[in-house]
Amino acid sequence: MAKKIPTTIKDQDLVAQRRGEIIDVATRLFLERGFHKTSIRDIARACPFNLASLYMYVTSKEDILFLVAQQLIDEKAKAMAAVEMSEDDPAGSFRTALMSYCRIVHRYRPHIRLLYRELDVLSPPRREVVMASLSTVTDVLSRSCERESRRASSPTVEPKLVALNALFLCHLWSLHARALRSITQNIDEFFDLQSNIVLQGLLKRGAECSGGQEVESQASTARRRNNNDIRVILSRRLPVMNGARAFRCDGKFAMGIRRRCLLARARCNTRPRSRRACPCHSAVVC
C-alpha cells in the first residue's frame, strides 16, 4: 500500500484547500503540455502561492499526479458507499450505482483522461492502489448483476465482466466526448442509453438461456424416442444368409447408418439379388 503524501502543514482544512488548487492547475497543465514537459515551477506559477509554499504540500510531480488519483478514489468510495443494495430490485440498485459513477465521471473528466494517459508514471505501489480502486465500483455493480441474473434465470452471465463493461462504458463520456456529441450532450441521457444497453442485454441473455434449454430438452427427448424406435426394429431376429447370421446394430452408430441398414434389409427381402453388405459391419444383412 502506498504511503500518504507528507505535509508540514498541521491545518488539515488548509491542506485540503491548497491541494485541491494544485490538483486543478496541474491536471490542466499535464493535459495541455504532458506530464514530462510540465515542471514544478510551471505549476507554482499558475497557483495562487509561490514555489516554496507548494513544496509544503507535495515533494514531486509524481505526488501531484497521485493526488489527482486519490481525489478520484475518495469520490468513488463515497458514492458507492451511499448506494443501497436492494434484494427485491437488483436492477434498480445497478442503475443507481451506475448513475452515481456516471456523475463522478462527468465531474472528473479531466482527471480520468489524465490517469489513462499518465498512469505508468506512478511507482508500482501507487499504480496498484489506483487499479485496486476500480473494485470499489465493480464490486457494487457485480453484486447487483449477480442478483439480477439469478432473478432473470441467466446463470451463464459473468457478473464481474458485466461490471467491468459498465465501468468502461461510463469512461466513454470522458475519453470520447467529441464522438458522443452527435449522439447526446446530456449526462442523464447518456446514462439512460448505457444502462439500457447493459440491462437489456442481461435480460435478453437470460431469456435466450431459458428458451435454449427448453428447445434442447425437447430435441433430446425426440432423439431418445427415435433411438428407441430404431433399436426395437433392429433388435428383431435377422435372417441367415450363407450360413452366417448378420450382426445387429448395437446403437453405437449414427442414425443415418441405421436407417441405411433398414433400407438395405427391406430391399433384400423383396429382391433377393440385391444383397449388399451392411454399412456398419462386414456381414450381409439380408
Render pLDDT for 141-173 as a digit per residue (tens, 0 to 9).
988 888 877 776 656 678 888 889 889 989 999
Positions in the chain whose pLDDT score sits under 70: 1-3, 152-156, 201-286
Q: What are phi and psi of 156, to 5 degrees?
A: -80, -10
CA distance 136 to 66: 18
CA distance 18 to 63: 14
| Amino acid at residue number 231 | R
Alpha carbons within 13 angstroms on the beta-carbon side of residue 265 total 21
Give the pLDDT confidence score for residue 191 in this predicted structure: 87
Could you report how far apart the first and last alpha carbons of the chain are, in Å? Answer: 81
CA distance 45 to 77: 32
Give the pLDDT confidence score for residue 41 in this predicted structure: 93
Strands (E), the chain: 240-241, 244-245
CA distance 121 to 98: 29
Give the pLDDT confidence score for residue 93 in this predicted structure: 87
**Across the strands, what pairs with 240?**
245
